[in-house]
Structure 1
Amino acid sequence: MAATDNSERLRSTMGLVLLACAPGLLTLLWLHGWGLLLNLLLCASAALASEALLLKLQHRPIRPALNDGSALVTAVLLTAALPAYTPWWLPMIAASSAIVLGKQLYGGVGKNLFNPAMVGYVLVLLSFPQHMTQWPVTQVLGLADTLQQVFGLGPGNQPDAWAQATVLDGLRNNRSLTMDELFASHPGFGHFGGRGSEAVNLAFVLGGLLLLQRKVISWHAPVGLLASLLLISLVCWNGSGSDSNGSPLLHLLSGSTMLAAFFIVTEPVSGPKSPKAKLLFGIGAGVLIYLIRTWGSYPDGAAFAVLLMNLCVPTLERWAERGQAQAQ
């Protein structure tokens, strides 16, 4: 009976997470159209097929694991993080790696040491960096062009025709333009942050608030990440010159900030359990995101930040326990 209750609770939680992802996914669908939809179908099919295969090889029940929704949540998070219009095999490799390397090799749901979606994302980012930097502009390709691009059905369009550098990449590689000139001339810049990504980040905030309201997640990790990112970007903000690291609003409303804050650092298995440790986990992730964005080799850095903080979870839990013991 307890196992059944746990299974139902997990399925209900995953359902709420999927519902909370809907505003962000719909915004991405509005921006990228068929490319986003194909990414979702490819990630979901690869994640579910990989989970079923690994369970079959281990002679474990397949249907209950597929029905709990955890593999589908991993696929949705990867869909939100991957560029649209990538070749079909890239999201499938990312989703399969997330399930196999990030989840099932540790024993399945509830036993993973690292965030599965970020494992899959980092693997394809390191393995296929050229494809992972081809982010589409906000206009939507038609269905025929999308199929050509994703499945190689015909010549397709060259990435130069539909891809652009992201606002974070443009900021990191800027050497001569002031921030005002960047916002005026670079197609990736919007009002305060990335064009399009401003709306996407705000949409993921709506989903995150739903998870907070339904007590699926606690406030500690999201607040820790956003507060630390806000603070360090404010302290390091050196104006609007050509050497600027970007304003706090730019960092909050660009890249995968809100996806990371409400859906990635709050992953309950690979993250801390105690409230103080969750807060420290979020703070560390926010600082690392800024450091990687500003001085690292990758323009966003959320995935690396989360995986590095996953390594620190035992230490964070010990610090939290020690602080609680001293307070008593």
Structure 2
Amino acid sequence: MMMSIKKIAVLTSGGDAPGMNAAIRGVVRTAVFNDIEVVGVFQGYDGLIKGDFKRLNVRSVAKILGRGGTILKSARSEEFRTKEGRAEAYRQLKEHDVDALITIGGNGTFTGAKIFNEEHGFPVMGIPGTIDNDLYGSDNTIGFDTATNTVVEAIDKIRDTANSHNRLFFVEVMGRDSGFIALRAGLATGAIAVMLPEEEMSIDELIAILDKGKASNKTSSIVIVAEGDANGGAYEVAKKVTEKYEQYEVRVTVLGHIQRGGVPSAWDRVLASRMGVSAVEGLLQGKSNVMVGVQNDREVFVSLAEAIDSKAEMNKEEIRMSRILSI
């Protein structure tokens, strides 16, 4: 069923991810191509409540394809968590004659959109923008590839120092509930071990891996620790290992927010562009309360409830391979 849409609002919410601007561009240009007006909402759901809208056109999104961050800014909104806040957001959308809302973000963003749709029946469409790659329904989320490349580049440089001084480095990467960045970066950099929230590894197991590496004349090593690892993060892991293992000079590096920044990779630019186009076309086809994803290189639509409540599964084969290749 085709939906009559004359005006779309688009916002970014939660943590920024490289490629969000490419998604905004995809939304705006696809809407204009279909003779639909677009307004950008600044500062996420806070801007929705305050009516901080600005009309966007083809020229508004020129030259943003390769920019990091988000031109619409992002924020977490406590007010939107309240029924009164969501009611005010709905009033603003109606006052501005907006027919549908596209939200670009992660789990929290989609939770808000889902509740908003259920309360007010307002058409919503989600685009998954999060470096953690932890949303069910898409093989990759916007920003994951760029963040992983940033981590790989940093670890390659750290390895030069590790090799020069025979050091054991513990490198903490983002992933409070998800080890996707840690696992992919571990494979790409040849880390001796990867510690993930999904696959608990004890300190004794880690030391056994280090011992095996030492026995094969490994003089330096990199251990990648996802911030959500059960042992408490890289500093805690390093402390526990040092107490039992004195063979290496130990150093810790926490990469932090550099993983969010930088220009998006070609992969993320194309992925975000595809999702931006599909989001608008999905709304025109009458789809709502769903997220656009890409599975097996094909665009799909997944309910927001499923995207939020289901767990994105790690590639068990990559976990197995990382253990084989790290010897």
TM range (shorter): under 0.3
Between structures 1 and 2, the one with greater strand share: 2
Q: TM-score, normalised by structure 1?
A: 0.23
The structure, 1 or 2, with the larger RCO (C-alpha pairs under 8 Å, 6+ apart) is 2
Between structures 1 and 2, the one with greater helix share: 1
Larger radius of gyration: 2
Q: TM-score, normalised by structure 2?
A: 0.23
